[in-house]
Amino acid sequence: MTTKQILLLNGFIQGEAISTTIYTDGLIRALQKFTTVELIINKFRPKMLLPSWLRGIWGMRFARYFLYPFQAPYQKNAITHLLDHGYSHLLYTRNPDKTIVTVTDLMPVLWWKGQLSVQTKKRIPLTVLYSLYALNRASHIITISSNTKNDLVKLIGCDPSKISVVYLGVDPIFKPYQSELKSTVRTQLFGPKQKKYILITGSGFYKNHETVLKTIAYLLAHGLKNIHLVKTGKPTQDWLNLVKKYALEENVINIGFIPRHQMPDLYNAVDVLLFPSIYEGFGWPPLEAMACGIPAVTSNVASLPEIMGSMDTMCDPLNYIGFAQKIESLLNNEDYRQSVIQQGISQSAKFNWESTAKKTIDIYKLVDGTK
């Protein structure tokens, strides 16, 4: 009996994106269910060995590119899985024949090359390219969408035969509430007012917030008066300026930071998720909302068509009239709304962590030569 050692390498927690944390935690939990005497999973996360006053952008780059290579353990016969492609530069110092990398998205490169519907980024840090071009050395690459796989082939020149698409899972905490509990969490979050609540999540230029506000302004101007837009996260000054620009101060609720374990309450308390993002490597919010029985209205670009499947609630990311019309139908046509809810629940059920883990293990076997 041959024992297969798998070494999972995390990044520094101080610089890790929320989406990366969700991925690594979900995958590791699922993989541990399959741990046997034949498959042993070890994991490593580096320590930030810098004083707090050095932990800015340059401090993180120093830690990422100089400290990590010295901290990362080396196991001679183990398959190494880099869970964050931001650390792909480790491929220059490790055995690439036994190394797998997960790539979530190439947004910095797309932005730099002017392939997003926003102003082009003037430059990209050379360190980013240094890491990304190391991907060609990897034994195998995992991407979380076909869109990211295509980007890797087109922009980095990776061999498509060495790339496998492995979709991620939706945590089981995201589920529809019974009507009584839905009413309770709705009142707790928004009070007793009989309003319709449209949720947007996330921050960053690619979340397309101006289109969101144009959509709400259009709905109000065309007779749908009882709506509120609910935004998670700390409101930036740019956001507040846009809200003022469209005179929506009375229709926007800045709910602030919501811990992930409380997000099912929020999804179940609203009526629609609006997600007109111009780019997503995967797109958890639509899946989570649909798993909670909440219709998701999204853009139709990047990975989102893969997430949404045959759902007819997608629009061009700048088509605010289209978004408004779909939201109006969902709020005013109960038969259509229920059809979309049931279709969304079925679609979200296709994404589960057990399947993610099984497909990842198959790739371990492929790299190890045992499949």
Higher-confidence position of 259 and 112: 259
217-231 pLDDT, tens digit each: 999 999 998 999 999
In total, the chain counts a number of residues equal to: 371
Burial class (CB in 10 A: 0-12, 13-18, 19+), 28: middle
Domains of the chain, CATH where assigned: 4-169+352-368 (3.40.50.2000), 179-348 (3.40.50.2000)
The mean pLDDT value for 197-208 works out to 89
Higher-confidence position of 124 and 228: 228
Higher-confidence position of 262 and 205: 262
pLDDT higher than 70, residue 128 = yes
The pTM for the full model equals 0.93
Cα R_g (the chain), whole angstroms: 22
What's the order of all strands across the beta sheet hosting 296-299?
252-256, 227-232, 196-200, 272-275, 296-299, 314-315
**Whether the Cβ atoms of residue 118 and residue 111 lie closer than 8 Å to each other:** yes
The mean pLDDT value for 85-104 works out to 93
pLDDT level of residue 95 (50, 70, 90 thresholds): confident
The neighbouring-strand residues paired with 275 are 298
Distance between CA 240 and CA 245 in Å, rounded?
A: 9
Neighbours of 369 (CB within 10 A): 6
Give the lowest-confidence range in 75-79, 155-159, 249-253, 350-354.
Answer: 75-79
pLDDT, residue 1, reads 45
